[in-house]
Amino acid sequence: MRRLSCFALLGLILALCGAARLQAELVWTPGQGWRVEGGALAGLSGEEGRNALDLMNKARAAEESGSARAAIKSYEKVAKRYPNSVFAAEAYYRTGQLYEKRRQYYKSFDAFQSLVLRYPNSERFSQVIGDQYRIAQGLLDGKRAYMWGFLPGLKNREKSIEYFEQIVKNAPFSDYAPLSLMNVARAHQRMNSTEEAIDALDRMINNYPGNVLTPDAYLKLAQTHASLVEGPAYDQASTKSAITYYEDYLIQFPGDSGAASAEKGLAEMKTLLAQSKMIMADYYYKYRRNYKAAKVFYNEAITTYPDSQVAARARTMLADVDARLAGQNPPPLAPEQKAKEPKKKRFWLF
């Protein structure tokens, strides 16, 4: 039984090797035009095969003579009439190239997408993903797609986002996927869609943790969260998120070129968070005379950023609070440390 299994496996290997030798390859040369080489599995035979080959040669001749519209028309006929042939993938590829030269970027991307979806095993696959990326990049940078090849349309950066996301779906394990996510984030930031930019950067660092772009994604994620911060008197959720990503960046990529920028950003966010604690502490100190609550927030301000000027003031106020809680006369505060107490009401007799 074991011997039979070995023979069966050997037969399968030989069959696959034979099939590989029979796999057809489409080749074009200026003198001879298109021809099928390397096997008999062109997908067509007889008159049908000759008709497809004639159409391909007609399309290439039109292309070489500068008649892009006529070439596109013939290539599209090949793709539609002979979808199971060796010619179809090449027809889609050349259609996409011609549309791109005519600056009809939407049609170009769609032609390339048809190749990706219908012929994922094509030797053109990686090249086409690169072509799609180039189109999306151009749209993001402000290129205008032309209608009918001569009438410029409006800039459409929203379309670039759609295309970058499609590239991530088409080839999630290619080098273009993390690049595309970074560009999705950049496009959303340009359109002030901050939450969407954060989502793209978050997918980038989670899906491609070992990529060369991951450090930059961490830094941009921290900076994007920081851009949402409105000040110490407001909600500090974005401040805390920015601190987390700055710290993660500095821990994981200590030698990266953006370390100095990250350290500065981290200090700013910690200062702001400490200030927010001081606002709460001063509120309980001044207006509620709740010294226990004030002590909690002064301590949190110190813990948040121990080496800051905010922490120094918090320590001074904490000494005052401790004295009040102990029933002692608090030490005099420096003018800049004094908390303004509400004026006492005075009653006058006339």
The per-residue pLDDT for range 43-91, each reduced to its tens digit, is: 566 778 788 889 999 999 999 999 999 999 999 999 999 998 889 999 9
DSSP helix/strand/coil, 235: coil
User: How much is the pLDDT for 42?
Assistant: 55
pLDDT tier for residue 34 given thresholds of 50, 70 and 90: confident
Diameter over CA atoms, the chain: 122
Of the options 1.20.140, 2.60.40, 3.30.70, 1.25.40, the CATH number for the domain spanning 103-208: 1.25.40
Q: What is the mean pLDDT of residues 167-193?
A: 97
Asked if 35 contacts 23 with a C-beta cutoff of 8 angstroms, the reply is no
User: How much is the pLDDT for 26?
Assistant: 77
The per-residue pLDDT for range 240-298, each reduced to its tens digit, is: 999 999 999 999 999 999 999 999 999 999 999 999 999 999 999 999 999 999 999 99
The per-residue pLDDT for range 101-119, each reduced to its tens digit, is: 999 999 999 999 999 999 9
* Residue reference for tokens 């969260």: 225
Mean pLDDT of all residues belonging to the chain: 87
Q: Note the CATH architecture for domain 43-101.
A: Up-down Bundle (1.20)
Helices (H) and strands (E) in the chain, counts: 14, 4
Beta strands in 30-139 (DSSP E): 33-37
Reply yes or no on whether the pLDDT at 347 is more than 50.
Answer: no
What is the pTM assigned to this prediction?
Answer: 0.81
The per-residue pLDDT for range 135-162, each reduced to its tens digit, is: 999 999 999 999 887 888 888 999 999 9
Break the chain into its structural domains and give their ranges: 43-101, 103-208
What angle separates helix 309-325 from helix 291-304, to the nearest 10 degrees? 150
The per-residue pLDDT for range 187-220, each reduced to its tens digit, is: 999 999 999 999 999 999 999 999 999 999 999 9
